[in-house]
Amino acid sequence: MKRYFHWSPGAMEDPLLISMWRIETPLGYFVGSLAILAISICFEWVLSLRQRVRCKDVPTRAAAALVHVLVMTFAYVLMLIVMTYDLGLTLSVLAGLGLGHFLWRTPAN
């Protein structure tokens, strides 16, 4: 594993997150980037859900705890993707976070 940002659209040396997720072709890299983009957008959706749960004063703490677990799970998965130091995958994370923020977050009152 390289410890600096690099670009490897053809093939990655190591699997991504799980052993079955190997990026070995440019098409696989593109599909993987789209999947990471979707994961990042979903992360922003879960963050907006957490904000709505807080605003509605949900009577059960279980719902708030579940949303917190989802937020932390997405955050760690995205962190691990960035820690591959692959520039294209990192840009996919950042683009997904920006797009998700644009789609799901409401302006503060």
pLDDT tens digit sequence for 9-40: 766 667 778 788 788 888 888 988 999 999 99
pLDDT tens digit sequence for 58-95: 567 777 788 889 999 999 999 999 998 889 999 999 99
Quote the pLDDT of residue 8: 75
Q: Give the global pTM.
A: 0.82
Quickly count: other Cβ atoms within 10 Å of residue 46's Cβ: 20
Quickly count: other Cβ atoms within 10 Å of residue 63's Cβ: 13
Quote the pLDDT of residue 109: 37
Q: Which one is predicted more confidently, 87 or 109?
A: 87
> First CA to last CA across the chain, in angstroms?
45
> Is-contact 90 81, C-beta < 8 A?
yes
Whole-number Å distance between alpha carbons of 50 and 63: 9
Among residues 24, 26, 74, 21, which one has the least CA distance to residue 50? 74
